[in-house]
Amino acid sequence: MGLFSRRTWRDFDLVLLCTVLLLLVYGTAMIGSATQATEDLRHLWQRHAINAVSGLVLLMLVAALDYRFYESLHRALYILIMGSLLVLLALGEVTQGVQRWIGANAIQPSELAKVVVIIGLAKLLADRDGQMDRMRNLLISLAYVLVPMGLIYLQPNLSTAITIGLIWLFMVLMAGARLLHLSILGLGGVIVSPLFWLTLKDYMRDRIILFLNPASNPDTYYNVQQALISIGSGGLLGKGFASGTQSQLRFLRVRHTDYIFSVIGEELGLVGVLILLGLFSLLIWRILRVAAIASDPLGRLICVGVAALVFIQISINIGVNLGLLPVTGIPLPFVSYGGSSLWTFLIALGLVESVAMRHKKLTFE
């Protein structure tokens, strides 16, 4: 069957694609608003738009290939991304004390690692379909994700390592892992947590302490306060597009990346936030719909992994903006500025579309 035949593409999920397009337009507009008051950042909305267009091309190319083709490449992809993470630790560019990019902030392997882990883990779990109630299989799946988690943590990038760990949790639960076994692993994690605390960088410890006791460092808590002021001052309808005081007067830092949700809350108010959350809810529902109609465990688990990735990053980013979680650098999917992150999400949705296009139809003839 040809890649571009009408029969191949007839089940392409247009609702999912249109939802993504609306999110991309939303994000591009808000990045433009958040950066217009800063001369050297005014062009970022254009770069985001270009990244969005190139990412949509990647989505279509990934969707064109049968998702089972990526299954056959899972080992090569895993080795390639682990190699990239090792190269990053050895030769990556150091920015603000961390090593996350290769080539002048052009490539962030830890972002692409999320998609590779979803593919490989889906393959591993699908091969053990109906057998994930065994502790041995659960430990094998955990070992699979601990390698990239460890390499990413060493950058240091704790938030992405945690994201991959949570993706694993969602996927093994859907694959049939027993809650008892997961509880035992969780208890083990609690026991070794004091040792883990000792390995954290000083700024990581400071963020956790600041979350538990904001009065411990008022200067560091400044941006969290500004985010809360931004969201709280927006009211029902907001102060108007590009008219927020905290964002336009630059009281709110990193407003085009980690704290763009606060800009939305201030300028578009509760209505703008609800529209954004509605689009996110529709997106996740469409992904889970594809999971429900997938023709095999592999397709179902890929979709579960992608849905988990989107949900986790939305929850963490909004939680940070609302002061409900410790400060971390997790972007808001499709809305925050960042090329590697945006491409990662669009590639992941390409996988979902590939599953949708090749699901087994039910007939009632």
What does 24-83 look like in DSSP terms, one character per residue? HHHHHHHHHHHHTTSGGGTTHHHHHHHHHHHHHHHHHHHHHS-HHHHHHTHHHHHHHHHH
What is the tens place of the pLDDT at every residue in 234-245?
999 999 998 888
Mean pLDDT of 118-138: 96
Query: What's the CA gap between 42 and 141, in Å, rounded?
Result: 44
Q: Is the pLDDT of residue 96 over 60?
A: no
pTM of the model: 0.92
Query: What's the CA gap between 251 and 226, in Å, rounded?
Result: 7
Q: Is the pLDDT of residue 249 over 90?
A: no
Query: What's the CA gap between 56 and 352, in Å, rounded?
Result: 13
Query: Element (H or E) spanning 279, and its range?
Result: helix 260-293
State the pLDDT confidence band at 105, using cuts at 50, 70 and 90: low
What is the structure's pLDDT at 3? 54
The structural domains of the chain, with segments of one domain joined by +, span: 73-333
Question: Is-contact 320 302, C-beta < 8 A?
Answer: no
What is the tens place of the pLDDT at every residue in 73-91?
999 999 999 999 998 888 7
Q: Is the pLDDT of residue 283 over 90?
A: yes
Question: Is-contact 49 28, C-beta < 8 A?
Answer: yes
Phi then psi for 255, rounded to 5 degrees? -75, -15
